[in-house]
Structure 1
Amino acid sequence: MKKSMLLIICMILIFTIMLSACKPSEQSLMATDAINTAQAIIIEQTAKAKIIEDFTQTAAAMPATNTPILTNTEAAAVEAATSTKQPVAQQATSGDAAQFVEETVPDGTTFAPGVSFTKTWRLKNTGTYTWTSDYQVIFLRGDAMNSPATQALGSSVSPGTTVVISLNLKAPEADGTYEGYWMLRNPSGRSFGTGGNNFPISTVIKVSSNVTTTTTVTPTTTTTVTPTNFVFAVTDITIISHIPANGQPCGQELNFETQANITANGSGIVKYRWQNYDGNVSDTVTASFSSAGTQTSTTQNTGVAATTDIGSSGWVAIEILSPNNIRKQYDWTYQCTPP
């Protein structure tokens, strides 16, 4: 605005000088033109200033917004979250991938307040990495329902095979609808879920005071309700090997027992076999579970002590053949006494 006024003043001075050199009649005409021109410039500049002032006041009066600028990854996560009822999870590491196969306790199952139940999922390893026993199931969000923050996978799952994951949960005390979400986590600390969008595994239950889940028959007997679509599976194996103390003469055979504690999540038939480091494989053994619990299997192992003071080593393993495939190995070493 200051520049515009300076320009007008300069133009008036120039016209004044020009007028002094003209005839009186010409001076009158030029003076009139100069005045009209100056007035036009003043009107135009005043209008522009008014527009700028109004725009500035309007902008200042508008509320400030903090709309975030999304990265490509965040934008894709928002799109996935709004297109599915399940929450978006952290992107999985290359090589780690899972596929949902089946589950127990369908979404919407109703429990009485405080009732304990077991939720089971069967997942398939569709990645290129083997899930070792160091992989974990971790609670992600929602209602934990008394689940641990982390739970070891407990077995080795090769690409292309399936694993059964069971969590012991407890219905909340208040009536309502509850949702819980969990994911897998590799030893590097990266989490991943199922499918292309890495969806968490989940459960959705209803709690109602009008529902009775367990009926007491006698003081020591209860009726167990098996959820629809229940998946019977071996959920854990522990191995205990009773290898002799070091010190036997080198060259002698080592005879010892190895025990395996097999835990299943319900009633069903388990088939398994023993394997030894020397290539021996037992016949298929069958174990019948009348309910969820643990059974012990024992095998006799024979190893040859080394002929030097280095000692000897070997391993023994148990492989679950059905209803799901799990293999657990125990590595042993022995220090013999040279002759």
Structure 2
Amino acid sequence: MEKIEPGKNDRKEMTNILNRYKVIISLVTAVMTIALLSSPLFVQAQDTGSYPVGNPLGLTYDGDFNPISSNVSVYGAINNAESCIYDADRKLIIVPSRGVSQRVQVNDAWVSLINSDGSVHTTKWIGVQNPGQRSELSPPLVLNDPLGSEIADGVLYFADRDGGTSQDDPTVAVIRRFDLETGAPLEDIRLEDSPWINDIAVAKDGTIYTTQTGDLGQNPDPQSWKVWKVSPQGDISEFAVGEPINIPNGIALDSDGNIVVVNFGNPEVLTFSPEGELLKTEKAVQAGGDGIEIMPDGTKYVSSVRQGGITRISPNGSAELIAENIPSAASICYDSDANQLVVPMTSQSTLGFVPLD
């Protein structure tokens, strides 16, 4: 029997048909996956009595939640995280993941709870709902692009922003606040005169300080480098503008209530009084500073997102590197129970851990 070879046009048509089948199969698979994840077996949200948040890892079936076996460790849950904060009451690390950019999907961020060994406690605590469901919650959930984070007086704070959905859509800085116990959103604070804010610190009296990193280009405008102050009454003002702050990034409060700012543009770490007076200038080993943690004795730990080191600045002002070559070492936090620094590695979508002596 003569063997008939298909022509080029026949082969092309067969390829097109196969590709169409592949697309159909992919769509069917996606629909089946969504249906499975929506079934009671995979439901992760729990109702705390006031607001639905995510369960720890486990499964819900027959109406009951069952935690994952204690002999199972799970790692991950982090996506493009810029900061972390340690919840000493829960003994868990709180990590906000930024998700995709505003131009791709608004309101896509979420908050994970991580154990001190890096394993996952709750993949999505705040933000277990998809972006399309969040507006239906009461109150609605909005979490777009969280950078810095802080805990104060039972409230969880994030430096966030609205807008930026297109090149022509301006951004506006927003301080998001959540009830630390329930995860429920509290009233936002909009900084209408700021396009975006980076890190955040809260004083004992409730005063909020937040950095506007500003221009980072070749010819930056120093007037765009700011530290904003929000009084307990909600009054918004500029705490510091321009030099000596130089592309301000990290911010924290020391045990005396002074405001400590980490410059990205140079290695300087600046300490201001609550009245705005510059009290002290110290230097990290590396420039490109991002996060800062201050110990009760005054020791400071500063991360460099640009050069990847962790600087320890002693109370006498001497500085040394205690860790280095950490990719995109962002805004660190201190895990007091494990006596370790936790380092969000933004470009790696993971966390690094630095034990302290």
Which protein is bigger by CA-based radius of gyration? 1
TM-score, length-scaled by structure 2: 0.22
Instruction: Say which structure, 1 or 2, has more relative contact order (CA 8 Å, 6+ apart).
Output: 1
TM-score, length-scaled by structure 1: 0.23
